[in-house]
Copies of this chain bind each other. A is one copy, B any other.
């Protein structure tokens, strides 16, 4: 029987459906404008059944944050993996932006969610996202510190550079998701991202020789 399934399988299925529906429904506004009944209707269950899976809408939001950051961290791991195998700086930039393009293309929902709810979500969601992003910045800082030519950098400057790169990349991911899969638009965004990253890195490498 292909259509029969264990109870917990079925439960997990509707849980997924709720998460997906919520992500879709708040796509062009925000979590704060998301209604439980809308989600339920989209999923095809009665509003009450929602509470079998989440304690509240806020709970749903936090689950979406976690899920989105699983996606984001998977991308960061992929980028880090590439960087180990690749020699020059421009090659690192190229491969990194390629990876970013590929992942954002495949999961624009999650990336847009982060970019949006970071500033507009419910307080608890905002807080969680900011915290996660801060962690990403710190990880990036230690990655950069491992690169050659950054020995004499202060911890503050490392942090500031990471923050700049993350901000730029969040902006890129946003623009990429807005490109909506049109290859020409995506190409333009990723070319811009490459240029931006390269500019920033050139600036960073010539740092301290000036100030």
Main SS class of interface, A: helix
Q: How far is the CB of A39 from chain B (nearest CB, A)?
A: 16
**Partner of A167 from B116, B167, B203 at Cβ < 8 Å:** B167
CB pairs A–B below 8 angstroms (23 shown): A29-B120, A30-B32, A33-B33, A90-B211, A115-B119, A116-B119, A119-B120, A156-B195, A159-B192, A160-B192, A163-B192, A164-B168, A167-B168, A167-B171, A198-B203, A199-B204, A200-B200, A200-B203, A202-B202, A202-B206, A203-B204, A203-B206, A206-B206
Known contacts A199-B204, A200-B200, A201-B203; is-contact A28 B123 (Cβ 8 Å): yes
**A residues bordering B, Cβ < 8 Å?**
28-30, 32-33, 90, 115-117, 119-120, 122-123, 156-157, 159-161, 163-164, 167-168, 171, 174, 192, 195-196, 198-204, 206-207, 210-211
Task: Indicate how many identical chains form the complex.
Answer: 2
With A and B bound together, what is the CA distance between A26 and B87 in angstroms? 48
Q: How far is the CB of A61 from chain B (nearest CB, A)?
A: 12
A192 nearest in chain B by CB position = B160
Instruction: Name 20 extra pairs, CB < 8 A, besides A29-B122, A30-B120, A203-B203.
Output: A29-B32, A30-B32, A30-B33, A32-B33, A119-B119, A120-B120, A156-B195, A160-B196, A160-B199, A163-B171, A164-B168, A164-B199, A164-B200, A167-B167, A167-B168, A167-B171, A199-B203, A199-B207, A200-B203, A202-B202
